[in-house]
Amino acid sequence: MVAIFSAACLLLCSQVGLVGGRPSLKLQRSTGINLASRNGTKLSGDVSSCPGYSLTSLQNTQHGLTAHLGLRGEACNAFGLDIANLTIEVTYESQTRLHVNIFDTAKSQFTVPESVVSRPSPPTSSHSDSSDLVFNHNANPFAFWITRRSAPDAMPLFDTRIPSLPPTPIPAVNGTDNSTALNSFALVFEDQYLQLASALPKGANVYGLGEVIASSGIRRDVGTNGGVGTVQTLWARDVADPLDQNVYGSHPIYLEHRFDEVSRSSSSHGVFLFSSEGEDILLQTPPNSNVSLIEYRLIGGTLDFYFFSGPSPRSVMEQYSELVGTQTWIPAWAFGFHLCRWGYPNISETRLQVQRMREANIPLEVMWNDIDLYHAFRDFTTDPVSFPVNEVKAFIDELTANHQHYIPIVDAAVAKQVNATDIYDPYTRGTELDTFLKNPDGSEYIGQVWPGYTVFPDWFANNTQQYWTEALTNWSQSGVNFSGIWLDMNEASSFCDGSCGTGIDISNTSTPFLLPGAPGNPIVDYPEGYNATISGPSGNITVNGTSTFGAGAGVEAVTLSKRGLGEASLDGANVITPPYAIHNGNPVLPLLNHTLSTNATHAPGYLELDTHNMWGLMEEKATHSALATLNPGKRPFLISRSTFPSSGKWTGHWLGDNTSKWQYMYLSIQGVLQFQLFQIPMVGADTGGFMGNSDEELVNRWMQLSAFHPFYRNHNQRGANSQEPYVWDSVANASRTAIGARYALLPYWYTLFANASLRGTPPIRALFWEFPEEPELFAVDRQFLVGRDILVTPVLTPNVTTVDGIFPGRGTIIWRDWWTHNVVNATVGANTTLSAPLSHINVHIRDGAALLLHETPAYTVEETRGGPYALLVSLAADGSAFGTAYVDDGISFPPGPSSTLTMKAASGEVTITQEGSFNIAQRLGMVTVLGVINRPTQVQVDGTVTKNWDYLVPQNKLVIRNMTTDLNQHVTLAWK
């Protein structure tokens, strides 16, 4: 929620040089370099003289090799002190995963502890001679490259050889930022700077590397076709969703997709750098170069690479999940519609939202509260006046009785006690258990967030899990009986730049800026094309019968475009502003900007500099464990902002503080796709936009789009126009229709997420993930697939009644309209213009699909799940179809008994077989088969002739109704 601070406060505070009530550090730099001496050694700031390494003492092992890497010449000490002795370990961990780990032999550099992210067990059989991935190397100078055994003569997948890269020096890509110059591609391994580059095919199709909102779209800009290249920084940051900058999460994995124009074949592979360090990753294509390149620049740690062979995009993601883990099991209710707002001032207003949603007959599954809930903005409290805990408890009991749920927010920082008479148990208990982050001298580290001055849990401390579980348990038992938890501000965010220091007025609990909507800080922004000066503040599509779009001049364009302690052990190192300054924001900001100081110290002696990017992950892991303890046998449900590899094992994610603009609705699609690769597929945007006023048309379209994203929540900021779906009649109508379709598809959603949890298969898919040999799809991110079978083509621009979309398959696939079941007459390999009046979203079914549905979507997920099933079969041209459905109780953790239904169609017959021990109580009530070319003369269900069927000629549709078929038995439906 609160990256709003960046937009509201940083502008205000920077004008007076104050952040958090103290002088801020004015360390913005355009050079990206902060040079100093280290113990008498001058740092050069120049990698051009770095000698690289040579390989000796190679030993082959059962699973790969190990060797020594020694510095080839005089140390260059560019941005740190060169480490002379390195070890390389190469391990063929499976048929599809190759591990190349380059680390300091002394093991003093920081690596991600196993206690934070567990690794797979060592291989038990050798894959060195059978894996499709092959490790190759030169000894002097040392370089390595990865090839495919199946294509040994093709361009390597990863190639660090200097002759394979463009000649250096290469001038700065950004002429005002000399740090983007490429002066040498030698391997650099220093205590505070590591550098490694690899050649890529020119114009490579690269995806991933985030979290980011990329102006280039889902396919990253490598500096060809008019692009300028990419500098992707990984440093968790609380900022309101800027373009092309680092934001909340850090995910150093990319997928590269290659297409051979001659053979018309494709292959994908993945590359993952397992590091929590701050880093820049450059994607560039120098002028006149015949290759593109990727270069990693880290400010600590090691070079710990994993390579995934694919060869399909989906298999790359599944292979990555084998390393970092799959999505935690999601409770069935979490796929319902969620409603929230920063600005429901009391329990009465919160209850009123539930009432109005019910009156409008718009399904509402989960009601949320933002920090309005808190007493003095303090975690684990309720305001005694506006949210009396007895009324909160009664409200949650009402929700529970109606099969609905409640989720409150938990911020990362814990309020510091103001004085001896201030009673705040979460602080005093944390102090007793010694669970809070410390300064280097051992004193309590103090930051500033909403409640005033704060402390922060140290997730490495021995008692922090106990503390966190107690706090959540006490809160729940007090009456806030939540079904899940919303984790915010966990980069971790602080309103001081680093430590708030000493001499502060601890009794000052005011925020250092005006809250949105407060007097003097009104919300005046609207979506593109809406002029509040002309049309008033309502946001309506029409006022007095006149369209509000474009009223007045100047319509804004809609642009869719055992390890050591790491840095803690370095003598004389600058850990506040490391010599190489990663591109933290634009312009470059200090690492401690709006977050914890990099010298804040964790329990084992780890510095925040090394662990910063993992703070959110560790909170997620602790919260998941706490909820599992609090509610044994039930699936914990979390939504969190800051994420890191393996976060999906514990949480889902929302895309942060977006803006009520058409552009941000479009950008939400790339965000959702990005997190499928990151193995956090339970993801969605703030529907309608968080920051600024939204309007009727934008909310209308966005409510439809988000109904086909995994996490579905409408949320906006304090002081902005109300944007709940009942506010406008057109939005209410669109929402009822979209949510109805979503709830009908819940068995399909649930199966997709079961597959995500079982094997890492992405529920939401870019078009080329399913059609990898169609280059026209490689950059498409204005459409997406839900699973294999549902194609979504949303309207992403205002004041239109049509939308263009491409239908994959180049004419080999029959696409049928979800709503009408009509076959689409699609243009082959190019856009087709589709009708898209307000309140309509284009959704199409792929041929060959067999989808288990809920026959009668109800108001809540539980009520919907309690009704009969339906089966929708969309036959391919040869009369075939296939699908599966995973069925269990939707809540047990770990998952209990389950059954899998397999639906097949062929030769005028549909069969359903059940495998598993879960008893499916609901009956099959209806079957619809699309593509039955001739009207049947007879229809049978399990060998018995039935008269309860209709045939519709325009859609070649056979519909069998009034069934009461037991899905625990083999089912056969036949027509002739």
Q: Point out which residues pair with 233 in neighbouring strands.
A: 280
Report DSSP state, residue 573: -
Q: Which among 522, 543, 880 has a CA at the least distance from the CA of 718? A: 522
d(CA 45, CA 29): 14
d(CA 958, CA 898): 30
- Does residue 141 have a cis bond before it (omega within 30 degrees)? yes
Report DSSP state, residue 497: S
Could you give phi then psi for residue 71, rounded to 5 degrees?
Answer: -60, 135
Which listed residue (159, 238, 241, 488) is catalytic? 488
Start-to-end C-alpha separation, the chain: 58
d(CA 113, CA 604): 11
Which listed residue (383, 491, 724, 855) is catalytic? 491
Number of H helices, E strands in the chain: 15, 52
Strand, helix or coil for residue 552: coil
d(CA 897, CA 887): 9
d(CA 619, CA 401): 31
Which listed residue (221, 470, 619, 657) is catalytic? 657
Question: What is Dmax (Cα atoms) for the chain?
Answer: 94
Q: Are 787 and 767 in contact (CB under 8 A)?
A: no
Residue 966 among the catalytic residues: no
- CA 644 distance to own-chain centroid: 9
Q: Are 597 and 499 in contact (CB under 8 A)?
A: yes
Could you give phi then psi for residue 712, rounded to 5 degrees?
Answer: -125, 95
d(CA 70, CA 84): 6
d(CA 491, CA 652): 15
Beta strand spans in 185-246 (E)? 188-189, 194-201, 205-210, 230-234
In sequence order, which residues have a C-beta less than 8 Å from that of residue 592 and are 6 or more positions away? 25, 497, 498, 576, 598
Cα angle vertex 252, ends 638, 83, to 5°?
Answer: 125
In sequence order, which residues have a C-beta less than 8 Å from that of residue 953 and are 6 or more positions away? 935
Residue that has been written with the tokens 């929402």 in this structure = 735
Reading the block at residue 279, the tokens are 């880093």
Reading the block at residue 337, the tokens are 């519609």
d(CA 13, CA 136): 53
Q: Point out which residues pair with 270 in neighbouring strands.
A: 255, 308
Could you give phi then psi for residue 52, rounded to 5 degrees?
Answer: 75, -165
Residue 505 among the catalytic residues: no
Residue that has been written with the tokens 């008893």 in this structure = 919
Strand, helix or coil for residue 350: helix
Residue 295 among the catalytic residues: no
Residues present in the chain in total:
976
Q: Which among 2, 76, 7 has a CA at the least distance from the CA of 521? A: 7
The alpha-carbon radius of gyration of the chain (Å, integer) is 28
Strand, helix or coil for residue 266: strand
Q: In what order do the strands lie in the sheet with 303-308?
A: 53-61, 64-71, 85-92, 97-104, 303-308, 265-273, 251-260, 205-210
Query: Would the CA dihedral through 179, 182, 184, 188 be positive or negative?
Result: positive
Other beta carbons within 10 Å of 117: 21
Active site residues: 488, 491, 657
